[in-house]
Amino acid sequence: MNGHVLALALGGALWMPLAAQVPAPVRPLGKTDFARIDSIFAPYASLDRPGYAIGIVQRGRLVHARGFGAAIVASRTPITPRTAFNVASLSKQFTAAAVALLIRRGRLSLADEVRRHIPEFPAYRPPVRVEHLVYMTSGLHEYYSIPRSRGKDWTDSFDVAEAIRASLAQPAPLFRPGERWAYSNVNYMLLAEIVARVSGVPFAQFIRREIFAPLGMRSSLVHDDLSRSIPDRAAGYNRVTGGGWREEVRRSPHYGGSGVFTTIEDLARWDRSFETHSLGGPALTELLLATRRFDHPKANDAFGLVWGQFRGRRTLWYEGGDLGYSSYMVRLPDDRLTVIVLSNDGAGAAAAHARRVLDIVVPEAVER
C-alpha cells in the first residue's frame, strides 16, 4: 500500500490514504537563528561560573561558534570555540577511526580474535573478536563493576592496564559474544591497546599522527599523561552545596573509551572529513558509518557512533560524560548539518541543550 496509512470511513465509503509526514528542508541558518540559539545558553554567560561551547556546522562550514561562561572560574578565563574540553565518550569515535585505518591498511580485521593481537587475553569460547569490541557486544565485564583491591574504588587513580586486568580476571564473560549489547568502556580500552600493538607506536601518538595532524586538529590530544599540560583547557566543575563551584581533577589517565581533549573548531574539522573523505578516502568513511547485525536486536551502532532519527531525519550522534564535563555531537548527514555542544558544568546537560538547538534549526515535518 506504498506506506500510506489507510482509514475506513463509516457508512460504506472507500478506503482513503491519509497525508504522510515528510521532513521539511533545512534552510541556510542566519542571524535570527543564531540569536535564538544563543538565548538558550545566555544563563551561563557569567564568568563566575562554568558553561558551554557550541558549534553549528552547515554544508561543511562552521557557521556559528560561541562560548558561554568560564573555562577557569578562578581566573575568569572565558570559554571560546578554541577552548579544549574533555569530551569523555565522544573519544570512542577516534579510537574506532584508528581501528578502521588499520583495517583499511590490511593490518587488522573485524573478524580477528582479540587473542591474535593480545596473546594474554583469555581463551574464551566462543572467542571475542575485534567486531565484538567495536559494536559493544563482547560480554566483557566493565572494570568499575568489579571490586578493586586494597580497599580502593575506581574514583582513585588507575590506568588502562589496571582496568583491563580487572575485566579480564573474571572467569567468563557476562554473556556469549554477540548475544547481547552492553555498553562498556573496556571494549574501547582494548581497542586502543590493539591499535598500539599492531601499529607499534603508543596509542596517543598514533591518533595524533594519523588523525589529528592530517585533519589540522592542532588543539586535540589523547590525555594519557597527567603531567602533560593542556593549552586553553576548560577545567571541569561541580556545584557545591550552598553555592560556588568545585574544580574536579582528572586523576586517571585512561583512554580509548575516553581521554580526548578537543575544541569546537577541531570537532568541526573532524565533522568536515565525513564529507570530504580527507581521512582515508570514501572507503574509510563508509566503514566508519557501517552497522552490523549480531544475535541481538540492536543494530544502529556504527564505529563509535550511533544512528538515530530526529523529526524523520537520519542522525549520527554520540554523547559523553565525565567528572565535571558533558558533551554531545549530532550530525544530520542528509541535511549537511551538525550541532556540537561541550560543557564544563558538571550538571551533564550538553545533550539536553543540543536537542533544544535542534528544535530551532530543524523544522517540523510537513504533510505531503
For the segment 262-272, what is each residue's pLDDT rounded down to a tens digit? 999 999 999 99
Domain count, the chain: 1
CATH code, 77? 3.40.710.10
Predicted confidence (pLDDT) at residue 172 exceeds the cutoff of 60: yes
262 close to 219: Cβ distance less than 8 angstroms: yes
Percent of the chain with pLDDT over 70: 93
Residue ranges of alpha helices (H) inside the chain are: 31-41, 92-104, 114-117, 130-134, 160-168, 185-199, 203-207, 264-276, 281-288, 350-361
Position 23 scores a pLDDT of: 83
Count of helix runs (H) and strand runs (E) in the chain: 10, 17
Is residue 68, in this structure, part of any structural domain at all? Answer: yes
Average pLDDT over residues 71-88: 98
pLDDT in tens, 180-211: 999 999 999 999 999 999 999 999 999 999 99
| pLDDT value of position 5 | 34
**Residue with the three cell numbers 573478536:** 129
Whether residue 125 lies inside any domain: the answer is no
* 366 to 18, 23, 272: CA distances (angstroms): 13, 6, 29
The confidence score (pLDDT) of residue 37 equals 98
* Domain membership flag for residue 88: yes
Residue 130 placed within a domain = no
Tell me, yes or no, whether 29 lies in a domain.
Answer: yes
Residue 165 lies in a domain: no
Is residue 172 domain-resident? no
Distance of alpha carbon 307 from alpha carbon 360, whole angstroms: 21
> Which pLDDT tens digit goes with each residue over 22-34?
787 899 999 999 9
Cell 562554568 identifies what position? 50
Domain that holds residue 33: 6-107+202-367
**127 occurs within a structural domain:** no
